[in-house]
Amino acid sequence: MPEIRKTRKIPVAAVLPVFLLIASAQVTYCRPVSAGAPESAGPDAREVRIGGRISGEVRLAGRVRVTEDLLVLPGAKLHVAPGTVVSFDRSESSKVDPEYFHGGTEMVVRGALRAEGARFLFRGRSGGIVVDGGRAEFADCAISGAEAGIAVLGGGTVTAAGALTVADCRVGVALFAGRLPAWAGRGEVSLEKNGVAAVRFPGAPPVPDTFLFRRSEEADVVDWDGRILPQRGDAPKPAPASGALRLGDTFMARSRELSGDVVVDGVIRVAPGATLSIAPGSRLFFVFRDTDGDGIGENGIFLQGNLDARGTKERPIGFYPLDGAGPGRWDAINFMASDQGENVLENVEIAGAYRGLHAHFSRFRGKGIRISECYRGIQFQESDVELSGVEVADSLSGLRCRDSDVKIDGLRLRDTVSGANFFRSRVKLSSPDLSRTGWYGIRLRESRVDLSGGAVREALVGVSVHEGTVLAERLSVEAGGLAGIALQEGDVRINGAVISGCRVDGISATGAKAFVTGGAITEYGRYAVKLGGPAEMTLRGVEINSGRGAANPVYDGKIAPGLGVVRIE
């Protein structure tokens, strides 16, 4: 039977018996196709293709192929039967703005997952299982080939019983800070042949003593001195004044000003040629509305016209959820083809959104912007953006950018799962200040980048470069996990950087051409410089000292032929 690519949402009850409904549920799926099945698939060898959202209670059995990101919604329950093989397609897109976390196809659990005697197969070390505030129970299961086999965050919990094997992943298990214990159960967890077996990010609970490490490529455990960050209490939530203006779905064909407190129970749409002005001291509160049941609020602002929101330091402008806590209580401030006229945000606070600021084919500038508790802080594509004094905190993604011209001065990111991601863009980034940004501080792909000053602290990889041209000057990278700076392809010049306290390597490189002058690489855990492929690297006037690992600070072709040679001048 030929492959059927078209997908549609239908009740799961209509799917063949291999995908069995327990209660009302809904997913996106493709019809089963004929395929050879391993013995573990059971008597029904047909393959089911699924993706999208799972609600209600669903049971998977046999051969299952995940063709797009799979989200187990809050309140939903996904059961994976013994003998089930769940394989995840490798994403064919760049996924600079993945639906959830990884660039590859992934499963995100915000409800409940229970798997017994099942295998989860990922391809090319991409994707993974993310337990984001939900619960996952594994008994006698195996996970292999992922970018991160299991990542636990947002107060999520994993319970392991019997034997759980996580193998051949870039990271086997990643534990992020959370209020609940991230790992429970006394099941033996075998972490085999992973790049890094376990990562304990700052503030996360300790790595369980049930973890067994075997043949890790880079390190068994990367952590930050076992510190547990104090949990911040819930800050008082702002509330509208009595008598606040109330708006439902609103279309603004002409320019209009909003002032004071406004409760928004709908989407404010601004037509091309019109400007929405918001007076200093105004506060907009968005009612939670979720018609598709995905747990994400849909109310927000959608601009094809322009936004003029200029608060002052004494009277900032606020955008808040009306009720509830955490990210995703409302949608975003969306700029869509808003490239005529002027979009300005000054002294603005944005909290509790799905995406704080989102721009597509648009132009905007801003300063003094603080974004918190969002799934995605800032995201823009095909846009011209100029920002200064912008902070994103306590959010999953700090900043995502694709195919844009970007100038940012004083970007501050704190306590995120991923930091600043630039793809196919022209970027000028001055004095960034990034702390505890999870997987990476700054990720640069196929871009032309001028990076000057600033600091990146306590990320698994401080700065990651994959192709493109990068000039980095006077940058400080502190307490990187796997590497302070990681280079893969590209032409990179680094001047006067100080890379200190990295848990594994100071600089790692595979296939890149790099010239490093001045500065220092100090207090590294294994190598000052480690080549993983035929890279070309020159160090001129770089101080290297206080390494705690190998006697030779450089791992290159002199030790392992074929890797290239690091020239030290």
Instruction: For residue range 163-201, list pLDDT tens digits in order.
Output: 999 999 999 999 998 777 789 999 999 999 999 999 999
Instruction: Please report, for the chain, how many H helices and E strands are present, in that order.
Output: 0, 56
Strand blocks (E) in 271-383: 275-278, 283-286, 300-303, 306-310, 317-321, 333-336, 344-351, 355-360, 363-372, 376-381
Q: Give the CATH number of domain 417-569; options: 2.60.40.730, 2.60.40.1480, 2.160.20.10, 3.40.605.10.
A: 2.160.20.10
In the block, residue with structure tokens 């749409």:
269
Domain spans in the chain, listed from the N-terminal domain onward = 8-222, 237-409, 417-569
Interior CA angle at 483 toward 413 and 441, to 5°?
Answer: 15
Q: Which DSSP state fits 41?
A: G
Asked if residues 185 and 178 have their Cβ atoms less than 8 Å apart, the reply is no
The pLDDT value recorded for residue 33 is 32
User: What is the C-alpha separation between 393 and 169, in angstroms, rounded?
Assistant: 28
User: What is the C-alpha separation between 362 and 344, in angstroms, rounded?
Assistant: 12
User: What is the C-alpha separation between 567 and 85, in angstroms, rounded?
Assistant: 48
* 3-state SS assignment for residue 39: helix
What are residue 121's phi and psi, to 5 degrees? -110, 120
How far lies 336's CA from each of 234, 308, 528, in Å? 34, 15, 45
Pairing mode, strands 455-457 and 188-192: unpaired
pLDDT tens digits along 81-110: 999 999 999 875 555 455 567 778 999 999
Position 23, amino acid: A
Residue 232 predicted with pLDDT over 70: no
- Helical ranges in 71-197 per DSSP H: none
The pLDDT value recorded for residue 108 is 93
Question: In the beta sheet, which residues pair with residue 399?
Answer: 378, 420
* 3-state SS assignment for residue 254: coil
The pLDDT value recorded for residue 178 is 77
The model's confidence at residue 19, banded by pLDDT at 50, 70 and 90, is: very low
Give 493-546 as a 3 state SS string: EEECCEEECCCCEEEEEECCEEEEECCEEECCCCEEEEECCCCEEEEECCEEEC
User: What is the C-alpha separation between 465 and 470, in angstroms, rounded?
Assistant: 8
Please tell me which residue, 18 or 148, carries the higher pLDDT value.
148
In the block, residue with structure tokens 């995940």:
66
* Lowest mean per-residue pLDDT among 43-52, 237-246, 544-553, 558-567: 43-52
**pTM of the full structure:** 0.88
